[in-house]
Amino acid sequence: MKQSQLFTKTQKNAPKDEMSLNAQLLIRGGFVDKLMAGAYTILPLGWRVMKKIENIIREEIDAIGGQEIFMPALQPKENWERTGRWSTMDDLYKVKDSSDREFALGATHEEVISPLVKKFINSYKDLPFSAYQIQSKFRMELRAKSGILRGREFMMKDLYSFHLDQEDLNNYYEKAKKAYKNIFERVGIGDKTFVTFASGGSFSKYSHEFQTLTEAGEDIIYICNKCNLAINKEIKSETPQCPDCQGSDFREEKAVEVGNIFKLGTKYSAPFNLAVDNKQGEKVTLIMGCYGIGLQRLMGTIVEVDNDEKGIIWPESIAPFKVHLVSLGKNEEAEKIYQDLLKKNIEVLYDDRDVSAGEKFADTDLIGLPYRVVVSEKSLKSGGAEIKKRPEPKGEIIPTDKIAAELSK
RNA sequence: CGGGCUGUGGUAUAGUGGCAUUACGCACGAUUCGGGUUCGUGUAAUCCGAGUUCGAUUCUCGGCAGCCCGACCA
């Protein structure tokens, strides 16, 4: 993509009403735009990041048998009354149509998927079963904050699993936990993300959160120095020891919850009479699990974790482009390299604009692509173009006809 | 939802009870071309409503919006 054609431009100043680092960098770089508190437009650069995150999640969830579907955000009130959450879920958005019929905007999708599964899953032979979607969620946060970390509308991957018995759920739950670890590893925050025991919700003693260490986090977690599992502050008082290894030596950290997994039991299957026949011909109410990852929050967390004073440092797996090709002054060589990179399917943002070197460099640092390739009179005299990795201070000169090959390694 | 702070061009800001400042951006013309180059010309703003006043962007009240702290967060 040529940068002269890119819809967005970078900004020198962060908006005065954004204090959080993730929003400042993402807005300055032209990745997102704030429509109102808690609702951000994702712009072309940001959307490329979101799609990469999405695809990593999709691959890992597909690998544990999740089948992708897409459910409506607009949902009938009756389903929410069935589970009781129409009145108990404080952050549920409720809307009326012109004839005063009420609807919920989906904050989560148990109320949709449970009756859906009832239509197709009728026998123990159909189990276990799991389905997921990547779709917008609506939550009436009283206080949207922390940039894109806590929004009122956001993309979520929500996976739901259905089982005949507890043991089967437990097996799947462990598979999901492993898939989550893979996801956070692949998006570049594996070393800072800890499996964390949290309050269990409805069915099991604990749920598990995936907490990524950052000062921008809203949660306090205690990491067990013995086994590296963590417990959330919310259960620390009743669980003073590590539930896994019984250790009692913890370090306290601030963290943001980038994912969570729950054992739901029959809380949402029972109200919809979601049951199948087992081998003995007896009706068994299905046991459910649910597993969520917020995409904007994940993108924002990565920005909080990977940046320096000049801008964002994207991990290569989710960078909007792999290469930022910068042409200084007019030269034919840059155009040739651009074509070479396109031919090799290397994702490249080509800064072909007629602006000063300093401005171009400031933009490459802010946007934060993994590789910068500079083509200039000076580099050509030294024998080619300069390739530099984003966080490193110096690059190296490579002959221009070898650039594409070098970057496809 | 309680508390605090803040609303001025697209962005960031200054200032004032009486013609609204500057920088960035944008447009045009030069200049420059390895770290937001330099110069000129132009463009564009006081959140909404009420009150006080000859006159309100400024003061008062109300609303709305944003940020921060807290509470909340299957």
Supply the angle between the helices A21-28 and A295-305 in degrees, to the nearest 10. Answer: 90
Is A247 a member of any domain? no
Question: Stretch A7-11: mean pLDDT, rounded?
Answer: 93
What's the pTM value of the predicted model, to 2 decimals? Answer: 0.97
A121 touches strand B (CB under 7 A): no
Is A352 a member of any domain? yes
Here the CATH number for the domain that contains residue A68 is 3.30.930.10
- pLDDT, tens only, A12-70: 988 888 889 999 999 999 999 999 999 999 999 999 999 999 999 999 999 999 999 99
Task: Provide the percentage of residues in chain A whose pLDDT is more than 70.
Answer: 99
Is A91 a member of any domain? yes
A329 touches strand B (CB under 7 A): yes
- What pLDDT is stored for residue A82 in this prediction? 95
User: Do A30 and A124 fall into the same domain?
Assistant: yes
User: Do A134 and A270 fall into the same domain?
Assistant: yes
User: Do A287 and A400 fall into the same domain?
Assistant: no
DSSP letter for each residue of A102-126: EEEE-SSSHHHHHHHHHHH--BGGG
User: Do A385 and A260 fall into the same domain?
Assistant: no
A13 touches strand B (CB under 7 A): yes
Q: How far is the CA of A192 from the C1' of B53 (A)?
A: 62
Q: Which residues of A in 16-45 have their CB below 7 Å from strand B's atoms?
A: 16-20, 28, 34, 36-38
Find the nucleotide nearest A38 (Cα to C1′): B66
User: Do A327 and A377 fall into the same domain?
Assistant: yes
- pLDDT, tens only, A252-274: 999 999 999 999 999 999 999 99
The pairing of beta strand A67-68 with beta strand A129-138: parallel
Q: What is the residue type of A307?
A: N
DSSP letter for each residue of A14-56: PPTT--SHHHHHHHHTTSEEEEETTEEEEPHHHHHHHHHHHHH
A4 touches strand B (CB under 7 A): no
- Strand-pairing partners, residue A196, are A209, A230
Taking Cα atoms as reference points, which of A299, A267, A29 lies closest to residue A157?
Answer: A299
A346: number of Cβ within 10 Å:
17
Is A220 a member of any domain? no
Here the CATH number for the domain that contains residue A377 is 3.40.50.800
User: Do A263 and A385 fall into the same domain?
Assistant: no
Phi and psi of A231, rounded to 5°?
-130, 140
- Strand-pairing partners, residue A387, are A373, A396
Residue A289 and residue A262 in contact, taking contact as beta carbons nearer than 8 Å: yes
Residue with tokens 């907490």: A211
Number of structural domains chain A divides into:
2
Find the nucleotide nearest A366 (Cα to C1′): B36
For residue A379, the enclosing domain spans 321-407
Residue with tokens 């959450």: A85
- What is the rounded end-to-end Cα distance, in angstroms, of chain A? 21
Find the nucleotide nearest A378 (Cα to C1′): B34
